[in-house]
A and B are shown apart, each in its own frame.
Chain A
Amino acid sequence: MDNDAATAANDHVSFLKYKGKYKGIRSWILSTDHKRIGILYLMALLCFFALGVTFGFLIRLELLTPGKTIVEPQVYNEFFTLHGVIMIFLFVIPGLPAVFGNFFLPIMLGAKDVAFPRLNLLSWWLYVTGGVLIIASILMPGGPADTGWTFYIPYSVRTTTNVIITGSAAFLLGFSSILTGLNFITTIHRLRAPGMGWFKMPLFAWSLYATAWIQVLATPIIGITLLLIIVERVFGVGLFDPALGGDPILFQHLFWIYSHPAVYIMIVPAMGVISEIIPVFARRTIFGYKFIAFSSIGIALFGSLVWAHHMFAVGMSDTGQFIFSFLTFMVAIPSAIKVFNWTATLYKGSISLDPPMLFALAFIFLFSIGGFTGLIQGALSVDIHLTDTSFIVGHFHYVMFGGTGMGIFAALHYWLPKMFGRMYNLKRAKVAFWIIFVGFNTLYFPMFVMGWLGMPRRYYDYLPEYTIYHQISTVGSWILITGMIIMFTNLIQGLRKGKVVTERNIWGGETLEWTIETPPTHDNFDKIPMISTPPYEYKQNETEELPEEIIH
């Protein structure tokens, strides 16, 4: 009996203090608890993010003046390759699904864990191994890959740098991403709480579902492509090498069959986060729930059809170009549906500008700029002018950093207090937000301008007339980094010494994670909830508003 009571007490303690099979560090790195794995991902992710930011900072510093500023051209090539590989494979792709998806998806569905907890742990280990391999490629003789994150053939076969190591790292990271994806699909199909039909699922779960399908179906293509680079380098089979009769453009096709949908792996979960945050801080039921849910699926579908718009300048057939350009415009539709529905949700809401909301609004603003500049490049004739200029760099960063990056920051501010039971300093978070916002635009907006004027991307040197834009941009990178340092210091201090929060519903959310304890207990729920209403039912507020509406 004593034993039972002790177990019961242990079950009710917060997952941070739960005593499992292991002690100390092993109780974390061998834990199969989805919440602990989420935090493991968060820790690893932030380390790699710091590394990626450092390389980004160094790229900008090098470009401060024409010619050599701090490093030689070869090192510069390695910098932008590492920046790309780390940021894409180690930060944005796993960012939201692996951290917040792992932590909150089962809770939002009313489940105790994901469908395959041990596979979940394996995916974290693969992730860490991949990350360590990338760092190893920096330290080993030969130096890190200098091909850019795209590994284009034939250069990736010719270069003497450690392409094989970087390639296998990316392969492992892809595998890790696949395991997360198949875990989430199965979880969503099998572990929803009783009564939770598909259309009673929170929108974050919908976005993860769409993402997971892309992860499962598209990632293997990059897997085989990377394997083939390795085979090509080791055995010289000649499948892509033009000297042996291979078609290097076919490599680009295969690469982008994955890497374009991968862009949606990065952005769709962020859209899910925004769909969670907006109704909470506008105190309104989300507008167009089904449209937002289906547009996630729509993005996943259309996103798989547009890959060759990365290749308009490589010599595809005219028919191919035309079709891909047309489909590219189509993919804007589901994205626009989301933006319209978010703004419609904000309309007449009682908006409170807490830090998560600020980041969410920044997401809408920056992502819209990113989206529109994407359309500009989707047009065939204009794209010929803009291909491989810094315009595309600006576009990509507006979408990926302004979109997914802000989404991750918003999620951090929204959910971190729930995860750890401590609150950060709200005022400082807002200050950090504004510095980040200003720094971001100072850093990336000049890229549109100089790209339009013809500044090629990835170049080490440039003509003197571009100097002013590069200098503004570099100063912007300093502002942005300052803002991020303030933000992360604030968050970390908040976790360590911030005000203890035990309140269950910190922001007034209506999804399931706000009905359980802060921080969650090991089993999440004392008893599995029965779901009868859709998420985001802000009944109270709406009945209050009702008389007014009748008057109108």
Chain B
Amino acid sequence: MDKHHSNIEHAHSYTIYIWVWISLLALTGVTVAVAGINFGAFTIAAALIIASVKSYLVLTIFMHLRLEMKAFRVFVAVALLFVIISFTLLFADYSFLSLR
């Protein structure tokens, strides 16, 4: 019966959202600025790392993942693991390819 009252805890304040938003914009600025510099192979890595940090902020704060029960975080981990494993195995073929 009390299940849906658990919503009360399900809240962030306005200020934390504003801070996250500012950080997201700042990170966007950083990624644009960094893209101009040539780090070689590290350029793409830098872009992806910054994008991951941004996604992490959106996931945990905007999408309330931090306030959800543990199962939700496990779910996200499972989904990401599936993507990462598929990606790795796909490149198990492509990175050793000489024919095509």
Genuine A/B complex: yes
**Cα–Cα distance between A217 and B86 once the two chains are bound (Å):** 11
What is the chain A residue whose CB lies nearest that of B89?
A: A305
**Cα–Cα distance between A221 and B89 once the two chains are bound (Å):** 15
Q: When the two chains form their complex, are residues A317 and B97 in contact, meaning their CB atoms are under 8 A apart?
A: yes
With contact pairs A317-B97, A318-B96 given, residues A213 and B90 touching in the complex (Cβ less than 8 Å): no
Interface residues of B in 73-94 (CB under 8 A from A): 78-79, 82, 85-86, 89-90, 92-94
A189, A304, A315: the one contacting B86 at CB < 8 Å is A304
Counting chain A CB atoms within 10 Å of each CB, which of B85, B93, B94, B95 scores highest? B93
Decide yes or no whether B98 CB sits under 8 A from chain A.
Answer: yes
**Cα–Cα distance between A307 and B86 once the two chains are bound (Å):** 9
Q: When the two chains form their complex, are residues A189 and B71 in contact, meaning their CB atoms are under 8 A apart?
A: yes
- Decide if the interface of chain A is mainly helix, strand, loop or mixed: helix
Decide yes or no whether A71 CB sits under 8 A from chain B.
Answer: no
Q: State how many angstroms separate the Cβ of B1 from the closest Cβ of chain A.
A: 13
Q: State how many angstroms separate the Cβ of B73 from the closest Cβ of chain A.
A: 14
Decide yes or no whether A43 CB sits under 8 A from chain B.
Answer: no
Decide yes or no whether B4 CB sits under 8 A from chain A.
Answer: no
- Sort chain A's interface into a size bin: 20 to 34
Q: When the two chains form their complex, are residues B92 and A320 in contact, meaning their CB atoms are under 8 A apart?
A: yes
Q: When the two chains form their complex, are residues B99 and A315 in contact, meaning their CB atoms are under 8 A apart?
A: yes
Q: Which residues of B contact A249 (CB under 8 A)?
A: 100
- Decide if the interface of chain B is mainly helix, strand, loop or mixed: helix
Decide yes or no whether A438 CB sits under 8 A from chain B.
Answer: no
Q: When the two chains form their complex, are residues A324 and B89 in contact, meaning their CB atoms are under 8 A apart?
A: yes
Q: When the two chains form their complex, are residues A308 and B85 in contact, meaning their CB atoms are under 8 A apart?
A: no
Q: When the two chains form their complex, are residues B100 and A247 in contact, meaning their CB atoms are under 8 A apart?
A: yes
**Cα–Cα distance between A351 and B86 once the two chains are bound (Å):** 44
Q: When the two chains form their complex, are residues B93 and A316 in contact, meaning their CB atoms are under 8 A apart?
A: yes
What is the chain A residue whose CB lies nearest that of B85?
A: A305
Q: Which residues of A contact B93 (CB under 8 A)?
A: 253, 308, 316-317, 319-320
Interface residues of A in 341-388 (CB under 8 A from B): none
B71, B82, B98: the one contacting A317 at CB < 8 Å is B98
Q: When the two chains form their complex, are residues A315 and B82 in contact, meaning their CB atoms are under 8 A apart?
A: no
Q: Which residues of B contact A189 (CB under 8 A)?
A: 71
**Cα–Cα distance between A324 and B92 once the two chains are bound (Å):** 9
**Cα–Cα distance between A317 and B97 once the two chains are bound (Å):** 5
With contact pairs A249-B100, A316-B97, A317-B96 given, residues A217 and B89 touching in the complex (Cβ less than 8 Å): no
Q: When the two chains form their complex, are residues B92 and A323 in contact, meaning their CB atoms are under 8 A apart?
A: yes
What string of 1s and 0s marks CB contacts (under 8 Å) between A243-274 and chain B? 00001010001000100000000000000000
A217, A253, A318, A319: the one contacting B90 at CB < 8 Å is A253
With contact pairs A320-B92, A323-B92 given, residues A304 and B82 touching in the complex (Cβ less than 8 Å): yes
**Cα–Cα distance between A223 and B84 once the two chains are bound (Å):** 19
B86, B92, B96, B100: the one contacting A257 at CB < 8 Å is B86
Q: State how many angstroms separate the Cβ of B39 from the closest Cβ of chain A.
A: 28
A221, A253, A320: the one contacting B96 at CB < 8 Å is A320
What string of 1s and 0s marks CB contacts (under 8 Å) between A315-335 and chain B? 111111001100000000000
Q: When the two chains form their complex, are residues B86 and A319 in contact, meaning their CB atoms are under 8 A apart?
A: no
What is the chain B residue whose CB lies nearest that of A218?
A: B82
Q: When the two chains form their complex, are residues A319 and B89 in contact, meaning their CB atoms are under 8 A apart?
A: no
Q: When the two chains form their complex, are residues B78 and A213 in contact, meaning their CB atoms are under 8 A apart?
A: yes
Interface residues of B in 30-81 (CB under 8 A from A): 71, 78-79
Interface residues of B (CB under 8 A from A): 71, 78-79, 82, 85-86, 89-90, 92-100
Given A221-B86, A305-B89, A320-B94, 5 more A-B residue pairs with CB atoms under 8 Å apart are: A217-B82, A315-B100, A317-B97, A319-B93, A324-B92
